């Protein structure tokens, strides 16, 4: 699930909301939010502004 979320974010090419990612990959918004939290904890995702997330390319 985390891989799908990260891939969708990379394809979007801009910071996205969890709901947008959920639509792209066809999953529940809650499941996507959980995956984003896990990715954020691992440092793979950053939040450039409130409620928006993007892959951490650093």
Report pLDDT digits (tens) over 1-58: 999 999 999 999 999 999 999 999 999 999 999 999 999 999 999 999 999 999 998 5
Distance, in Å, from the CA atom of 12 to the CA atom of 17, rounded to the nearest integer, reads: 11
Per-residue pLDDT, 57: 80
Count of other CB atoms within 10 angstroms of residue 41: 9
Distance, in Å, from the CA atom of 55 to the CA atom of 8, rounded to the nearest integer, reads: 10
Residue recorded with tokens 């993007």: 54
Residue recorded with tokens 């947008």: 20
Domains and CATH numbers, the chain: 2-55 (1.10.10.10)
């Amino acid at each position: 699930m985390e891989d799908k979320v990260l891939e969708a974010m990379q394809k979007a090419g801009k910071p996205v909301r969890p709901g947008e990612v959920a639509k792209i990959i066809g999953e529940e918004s809650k499941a996507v939010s959980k995956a984003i939290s896990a990715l954020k904890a691992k440092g793979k995702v950053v939040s450039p502004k409130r409620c928006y997330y993007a892959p951490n390319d650093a």
